[in-house]
Amino acid sequence: MSHHLYKKAMEYDLEEIQLLAKAAQTAPPPVAQALLGIIKEEAQDAEFWNTLYSCCDECYKPPCPDDPDGIRPPGKYYPYQKKPEQDKKE
């Protein structure tokens, strides 16, 4: 899926949120409460599409390019190591 389709999906979700919010403003409390639940779900969907879209950008770099897993900071940084001179045991 191309990155512009991710953006389009996110825009659809945001548009739905806007329409649901307008409806919730004038709805009776039980209906408004239900609409708020739907808005929450749509916001989570929009967050998902936003994450995918941001990862497809040409400028995106993995957080830790030196690490094959991309989860550790570069260099020899082991925060749970008891002594600084102690090597990491794998």
Do 36 and 24 touch, CB atoms closer than 8 A? yes
Per-residue pLDDT tens over the stretch 19-73: 999 999 999 999 999 999 999 999 999 998 888 887 776 655 555 555 555 555 5
- Alpha helices in 27-74, H assignment, sequence order: 29-55
- How much is the pLDDT for 37? 95
Sorted by where each begins, the domain ranges of the chain are 1-76
- How much is the pLDDT for 75? 57
Comparing 66 with 6, the larger pLDDT belongs to 6
Q: Answer whether residue 85 shows pLDDT above 90.
A: no
